[in-house]
Structure 1
Amino acid sequence: MKSRFLTLSVMAASALVSTALYAEEVNIDPIVVGADFREANLSQVTNSMTVFAEEDLYDKATEPFIETLTQAPNVNFSAGASKAKYVQIRGIGERSQFETPINPSVGIIIDGMDFSQNPLGITLFDTKQVEVLRGPQGTTFGANGMAGVIVVQSNEPTAETNGHFEATVGNYNTKAVGAAVGGSIIDDTLLGRISVYKNSSDGYMENSYLGRDDTNNIDELTVKAALKWLITDTSTMNINYIHADIDNGYDAFTLDNSRVSHADKPGKDTQLTDAFSLKYTNQINDAMHLIAAVSHSDTDSEYSYDEDWSYVGEFDDSLWPYDWFDRYLRNRKQTDFDMRMVSDKAGKIFNGTTAWTVGMYYKDYSEGLNRNHFKDDHWETFTHNYDTTNKAIYGQIDSDLTDKLVFTLGLRAENWDVDYSDSNAFTENTDENLYGGKIGLSYKADENALYYATLSRGYKPGGVNADNTLPSEDRTFETETLWNLDVGVNSKYFDNTLVNRLNFFYGKRRDQQVKAYIENDRSFSDYFDNAAKGTYYGLESELDYYPNDTLHLYSKLGLLHAEFDEYTPEMTGRAPAQSPKYQYNVGLDYSFLENWRFKANVEGMGSYYFSDTHDQKSDSYALLNSSIEYVYGNFSATLWGRNLADKEYDVRGFYFGNDPSKFYEPELYTQKGTPRTFGLTLTYDF
């Protein structure tokens, strides 16, 4: 069935391309995206991009943010606690963090604030739009955008007073309540909006030793506030603030891969973040406008867990059981400043054919770690300080070669400075210059078809491996670079009832960063290594069909082939971890009886390797989700269910020996994905 599905999807996408010349006149699409230097309608974007608009998000507030992203083609995630917080695009991205500081492969920006390191603080309540950009974003986002970038936009303040209230109850003792209100504070001068969202659940694990069912629980509070100051007719100030208090448990792994834990010391996965952003926009004249933005965040987190997954006395002493506990306490501070000049229509150069952008960027990031490791009846402590400074200049031109053909050239030069020191008296200082950018052509055949080809270069800085048991030559790893080619078409057919976005991609990775680990007497030394070369290629397809005003059919498909070209003999020719060969999301929205709406979708993913250190793989899976909604005036009630078939699937996997009763023989240990969940959500808008 999977084979037939993939074949039909590819045939359908090919058929759409071949019939582009027969498309009829359509209206401009309503979705506007702003992840590039200029806002544009989605149909005119020359990136491989998925957009979750407000109508896609309004009923997903209780869903984990990272897991929701997998409904986009070639986007995957890995868990490792109560919720997933690591995302991969086209097989590129982090899967975990222990001692070693990491530089993200996927950038995550919410309301102008960088949450790439702290995604637990993002919820989908009161969210207007999420943009998922695949492939290097070297010109616009630099070091944190090698695999792609995710941009989250909350609902903005409006002049009219409006509000939203939402309450949810569900199985596993799920309870959530949220409220948002906004409007004019000072007429024609100051607008504001504030939202508060509280979400809790017992989680999906039981702990038989402690007699509890909430050791892997969810307990989250998020507050968002926004002000829009209309300073003059030509200048505006936007101010955003986020407070996230995440107090989740961590008790997810068991010796028998069940949902019943025996741990006597369940851990935590917490995050306390305060962040703000200021964005000043000034229309200098008819030719150009200035955008200046600054943001700052301060985050404290705890990641802790019971290493032995058991309790004292569960195993006979002759089996050499152990009782260890690991706790990672981190503080992260980050300040970003970005200033750019952007041309308007009157400011185009070269006889009015070329729009331009020039800018400068500065980032100061610091991470302090305090690791407390309980081992053999005593505590061992390790600390480190990791400080980076980024300084960049960038620019882009978009030149109309003809009335249909546009040439784009973007460049970014970035200086990356690192200072690292730890309690083992190891220090490392690096200072390197990094370069990224893109060159592309887009051709607008008519109002209904846009073709594009873009060659881009992204980069991910090297770093320091914190574990002092590693050989000296493995204490650092090199910067990775990625050359990526995207070729695609955005097209519409049959009076805008059928919409297609199709993208083919091919990429070459140099000094590919690889996460690995060494096992030694039940201890793990995780570290980053470099593979000389890697390759990936595939396609992303999104189809939307509106046969009438009441029915919407859609499909999203991602195909990916990735492999190591040059690495160790065992790994050369193999796919990297978290690189499934296919992903899909097929569904429908159907409105009936005037006030009712039915939604259903199936999302599936192929098998993939859990790690670049062993050959254990996940099983392929498909999840059925559905909801039915009743709307009466400003009130709505939605009965929803996710993973309705209660499919068992894995979202993280390790391969090592941890069971004394099996004499510590290596075996696969997995964390299970979300089981069947269901609930009722009530909303009121005014």
Structure 2
Amino acid sequence: MNKRVLAAAVTSIGSLCLGYGAGAAAQDSDAAADTAATSTTQTPAADGTAQDTQAATAAAGDDQIATVLVTARRREEKLEKVPTSITALGAQQLTQQGIVSQSDLQSAVPGLTVRQTQGSNSLTFSIRGQTVDAFTGSRSAVVPYFDDVQLNSGGASTFFDLESVQVLKGPQGTLFGRNTTGGAVLYTSTKPKDELGGYARLRVGNYGLNEGQGAFNAPLFDHSLLVRLAADVTYRDGWQKNLYDGRDLGEISRQSGRLSALWKPNDALQNLTVAEVDHSGGNSTATRLKTVNRCGDSNNGYALNCAADYLFNPNTPVGPDAWANYLAHNPHADPDGIAAYLDNVSPHIGFWKANEIAPVFHQEQDYFAANTTTYQLNDDLLLKNIAGFSTSNTHDLGSSVGAPDPVFYSATLASDGAGGFLTDANGQYLYDKKGNHVEDRTYSNELQLQGKALEQALTYIVGAYYQYEDARTLFPQVYFNLYQPGAFLPANATSNFQIIDETPAAFAQSTYDFSSIGLSGLSFTAGARYTWESVKIHQLEGSDNLAGSTADAELPASQSRHYSDPSWTLGLSYQATDDLLLYLQGRRSWRAGGFNGTAPAAINPGDGSPVIQNTNVFKPEHTNDVELGTKFAGNVLGRPLRMNLAVYNQWIKDVQRAEFPDPPGPAQSIAYTVNVPEARVTGAEFDLTFKPARWLEAGVTGALTHARFVSGKDTAEVFGTTYLFGPYADVPKRSGSAYATVYLPTPSEMGLMDVRADVYGQSSMYFSNSDKSITPDTKIPGYGLVNLRYEWLEICGTQYSVSAFVRNLADKEYYTGGFALTGSLGVNSVAVGTPRMFGAEISYEF
């Protein structure tokens, strides 16, 4: 599976076209398009979804723009008829836009940010400013679902054989499994079809990209059982050179397989089972050092932590010979210290290079299963049950601070079994390089009754839901290793804990169409959900938060909290014409409080002041929003146009955000979730697709987002100290994309050709929520990216298709997020985006 195989295949296919003369090539574009519109030959989407050419190339052959069926209200509906803000991408759109993983979604979905923290396998979704910070105890504000079951994943993954990806924006608390305050991302796999066939695809590219993907579909037992097998294998060399050890970072090694079986014993009963296994190896990218606080620096009256600069310099206070000893053991370090490295060396090593002392790797095994059973009780009643299981087992050694100095390290000091630590022959500490380990298992079941009543004017759904999640987390850390035993350095810290979350809920939602009483096109929706959530934490063996004690009592090994609250939605929609929908909706949702597993239940400052209690607890977050929107799907000046526009205001109370403070006493930490009293997010989102001619389709999307902590309600107390929050992180004020697809005037005998160009841009954003206090200099600049793609479908009447692509055409240097540690360690680092990526692919359907 390499470039020679692809080249040989393309050459052999191309030979089939040699018989066509120049006369055929002279056909005009409208004739070619009309011919394309009559084709019914099957062709695969690049993600492998088999679909007929008439559907796949409708944009080239007639005056239609492809639409996508969505399930935002737990039933299939056309996107243009659903009164809420959704971005939906079908198989064809995923192909044309080159969306093959989570990070690619940002350029296609207005208002969505995919932020990296420590590198390419540390991804976080942010919608309308609602997100979850890395290494905190918060539940995600944007929950991913695969076939209606919550998905656990510890890193990046590869999209394959998908029917659609839907991004639901705003609070989601009524109809989906877990309450969220930001949104939901729905992945839907391709269902088995009642036909024998399949596809195969090969993709190659720079940085050693080799990807093989395929699916096989078969009907069995007189077409009562439909089975689909799909798989993807992806390998790619790293694109970031680590100067410290010479390794390439960003390597991908992923193997995935999925089995889907649809059993239809009669017309009323259907049972769909989907099982998937994913394995990821390789490693992540490393961050780059961005900030080193100098001792004596302050920011808006806040004294800044300068631990890294204080310790890693020629005048280190550890001892008179400490710096010479440190340089002898670490020759990559700058002789003038970490601050000098930032000023004099880091800017000149090359943007897509790293100088990371920590070894970086990523290993992950994911298992997923979902069973969906539907039974049509009668014409107006459908009973549906969704049972799911998802597990993720992830080991990571991630980038520390992007410098050749061990400010911190994901490992533990090797124990000598007698309360001390092992050293080498020179008296230097040895490590157990275990890295971070997160194991997450989730079980869920949802029972629904969907129906219609009042002569089908009323559509409703009622149901019950239960989810059980068991997450075990090991975060071993070593801080400030100057290769100098004694003087309390290096500091060894280990977080090892288990959090069990049980979530039962009951829900109901209905929509009444007033057309039956003479108010044609007017509908009202009301829905409510009540959720009970129980959160328990157990500190496990080896945890620093288990063995210590306060001045009053031993730290508890286990704690629990119980939460319950309603969520609701109210909406009014008006189908003004067949083409125009207007809507107004208001929603309330929340996410539960819980525990910071990296923090003790209490801290004794050790200076005679009172013990600080409940230092590991944070409260629930609540949100309300109002959204006004319009959707248009029709013709303007005789040409097809699709347009969605939404404006909204969202109020959030007790906002869950992470802080990286310097706790009192000897305690060390990774991150703490705190509650900031109040925030507000105001914005507008739009997407527009227009087809001014049969041979041309163009579109534009955009998001304007004004997210802020409310003045006077923008502080939170952390370990008895009050911290100021702002600006709002992980959301650019402006973002958007534009594209144009040109369908080339090729003769029908040669197949269909098109060229697509995409442009994505965003303004600057912050990767810390306390830039104006204890973590300054976390602003990353805006950027713009250009992508191109060429496709040749049904080459000369065959079942082959080829394409070529390039992403980040201009090789733009840009940042995708960062790791804000100046509050606790005195340094910040940033994650870099990918350089120019290009390649080609060939697919065959049988």
TM-score normalised by the shorter chain: which range applies? 0.7 to 0.9
Distance 1:43 1:74 in 2: 19
Distance 2:77 2:753 in 1: 33
Which SS does the other structure have where 1:250 is aligned?
coil
- CA shift, 1:27, in A, is 8.2
1:215-255 deviation digits (Å, cap 9, x = unpaired): 33111111111110002110000000110101131341244
Question: What number of residue pairs does the alignment pair up?
Answer: 642
Corresponding position of 2:642? 499
Corresponding position of 2:657? 514
CA gap of 1:513–1:74, structure 2 versus 1, over 3 A, is: same
Give, as a single letter, the amino acid of the residue that structure 1 aligns with 2:635. Y
Corresponding residue to 1:88 among 126, 129, 146? 126
The 8 Å contact of residues 65 and 691 in structure 2, kept in 1 or not, is answered as: no
- CA shift, 1:374, in A, is 4.3
CA gap of 1:522–1:651, structure 2 versus 1, over 3 A, is: farther
Which SS does the other structure have where 2:660 is aligned?
strand
Which SS does the other structure have where 2:80 is aligned?
helix
The within-5 A match list for 1:307-456 is 307=400, 309=402, 327-344=435-452, 348-349=453-454, 352-374=456-478, 380-401=493-514, 402-423=519-540, 424-425=545-546, 426=556, 427-456=558-587
1:341-361 deviation digits (Å, cap 9, x = unpaired): 0004xxx13x65322211000
CA gap of 1:403–1:498, structure 2 versus 1, over 3 A, is: same
The 8 Å contact of residues 142 and 436 in structure 1, kept in 2 or not, is answered as: no
Q: Find out whether 1:607 has 2:764 as its counterpart.
A: yes
Give, as a single letter, the amino acid of the residue that structure 2 aligns with 1:365. E
Distance 1:525 1:120 in 2: 19
Higher relative contact order (CA 8 A, sep 6+): 2
Give, as a single letter, the amino acid of the residue that structure 2 aligns with 1:88. S
1:357-393 deviation digits (Å, cap 9, x = unpaired): 1100000100112233345579654321100111100
Corresponding position of 1:568? 715
- CA shift, 1:203, in A, is 2.3
Corresponding position of 2:703? 558
Which SS does the other structure have where 2:661 is aligned?
strand
User: What is the identity percentage for the equivalent residue pairs of Structure 1 and Structure 2?
Assistant: 23
The within-5 A match list for 1:173-192 is 173-192=208-227
Corresponding residue to 1:639 among 773, 795, 804? 804
Which SS does the other structure have where 1:407 is aligned?
strand
Corresponding position of 1:7? none
1:629-673 deviation digits (Å, cap 9, x = unpaired): 222132122111111111111112234569xxxxx9955421111
Distance 1:186 1:233 in 2: 15
Give, as a single letter, the amino acid of the residue that structure 2 aligns with 1:498. L
- CA shift, 1:149, in A, is 0.7
CA gap of 1:119–1:447, structure 2 versus 1, over 3 A, is: farther
Corresponding position of 1:661? none
The 8 Å contact of residues 308 and 322 in structure 1, kept in 2 or not, is answered as: no
CA gap of 1:378–1:231, structure 2 versus 1, over 3 A, is: farther
Corresponding position of 1:301? 394
Corresponding position of 1:584? 736
Corresponding position of 1:230? 264
Q: Find out whether 1:677 has 2:842 as its counterpart.
A: no
Corresponding residue to 1:196 among 231, 240, 243? 231
The 8 Å contact of residues 64 and 83 in structure 1, kept in 2 or not, is answered as: no
Distance 2:802 2:65 in 1: 32
Distance 1:628 1:409 in 2: 46
Corresponding residue to 2:681 among 533, 536, 548? 536
What are the ranges of 5 or more consecutive residues in structure 2 without an aligned counterpart? 1-62, 290-345, 408-427, 482-489, 547-555, 604-611, 717-721, 747-751
The 8 Å contact of residues 287 and 818 in structure 2, kept in 1 or not, is answered as: no
- CA shift, 1:504, in A, is 0.7
Give, as a single letter, the amino acid of the residue that structure 1 aligns with 2:68. I
Q: Which moved more, 1:121-130 or 1:434-443?
A: 121-130
Corresponding residue to 1:39 among 76, 79, 90? 76
The 8 Å contact of residues 286 and 356 in structure 2, kept in 1 or not, is answered as: no
Please state which structure has a larger fraction of its residues in strand.
Answer: 1
Give, as a single letter, the amino acid of the residue that structure 2 aligns with 1:477. F
> Which of the two has higher C-alpha Rg?
2
The 8 Å contact of residues 447 and 465 in structure 2, kept in 1 or not, is answered as: yes
Corresponding position of 1:463? 594
Which SS does the other structure have where 1:369 is aligned?
strand
- CA shift, 1:59, in A, is 5.1
Corresponding position of 1:15? none
The 8 Å contact of residues 262 and 271 in structure 2, kept in 1 or not, is answered as: yes
The 8 Å contact of residues 273 and 298 in structure 1, kept in 2 or not, is answered as: yes
Q: Which moved more, 1:484-493 or 1:368-377?
A: 368-377
Which SS does the other structure have where 1:43 is aligned?
helix
Give, as a single letter, the amino acid of the residue that structure 2 aligns with 1:567. D
Corresponding position of 2:360? 267
Distance 2:662 2:456 in 1: 62
Distance 2:285 2:77 in 1: 45
Q: Which moved more, 1:516-525 or 1:378-387?
A: 516-525
The 8 Å contact of residues 143 and 461 in structure 1, kept in 2 or not, is answered as: no
Q: Find out whether 1:651 has 2:768 as its counterpart.
A: no
Distance 1:171 1:530 in 2: 45
Distance 1:647 1:445 in 2: 45
TM-score by length of 1: 0.88
1:490-535 deviation digits (Å, cap 9, x = unpaired): 1133256111111111111011111111147996541111111111
Distance 1:545 1:222 in 2: 37
Q: Find out whether 1:247 has 2:281 as its counterpart.
A: yes
Which SS does the other structure have where 2:715 is aligned?
coil
Corresponding position of 2:341? none
CA gap of 1:46–1:395, structure 2 versus 1, over 3 A, is: same
CA gap of 1:69–1:312, structure 2 versus 1, over 3 A, is: closer
1:567-613 deviation digits (Å, cap 9, x = unpaired): 12998794411121111110111110333210001001111111113
- CA shift, 1:421, in A, is 1.4
CA gap of 1:571–1:475, structure 2 versus 1, over 3 A, is: closer
Distance 1:194 1:562 in 2: 44
Distance 1:342 1:657 in 2: 52
Q: Which moved more, 1:40-49 or 1:75-84?
A: 75-84
Distance 2:442 2:501 in 1: 10
Q: Find out whether 1:626 has 2:788 as its counterpart.
A: yes
Which SS does the other structure have where 1:497 is aligned?
strand
TM-score by length of 2: 0.72
Give, as a single letter, the amino acid of the residue that structure 2 aligns with 1:502. L
Corresponding position of 1:9? none
Give, as a single letter, the amino acid of the residue that structure 2 aligns with 1:362. Y
CA gap of 1:186–1:525, structure 2 versus 1, over 3 A, is: same
Give, as a single letter, the amino acid of the residue that structure 2 aligns with 1:591. Y
Which SS does the other structure have where 2:765 is aligned?
coil
Corresponding residue to 2:113 among 48, 58, 76? 76
Give, as a single letter, the amino acid of the residue that structure 2 aligns with 1:503. A
Q: Which moved more, 1:418-427 or 1:216-225?
A: 418-427
The 8 Å contact of residues 593 and 618 in structure 2, kept in 1 or not, is answered as: yes
- CA shift, 1:142, in A, is 5.0
- CA shift, 1:618, in A, is 1.0
1:467-501 deviation digits (Å, cap 9, x = unpaired): 33665343111111110111111113325611111
Q: Which moved more, 1:201-210 or 1:118-127?
A: 118-127
CA gap of 1:655–1:146, structure 2 versus 1, over 3 A, is: closer
Which SS does the other structure have where 2:736 is aligned?
strand
Q: Find out whether 1:126 has 2:161 as its counterpart.
A: yes
Which SS does the other structure have where 1:678 is aligned?
strand
Corresponding position of 1:21? none
Which SS does the other structure have where 2:160 is aligned?
coil
What are the ranges of 5 or more consecutive residues in structure 1 without an aligned counterpart? 1-25, 315-320, 659-663
RMSD between aligned residues: 2.7
The 8 Å contact of residues 82 and 203 in structure 1, kept in 2 or not, is answered as: no
Distance 1:210 1:239 in 2: 46
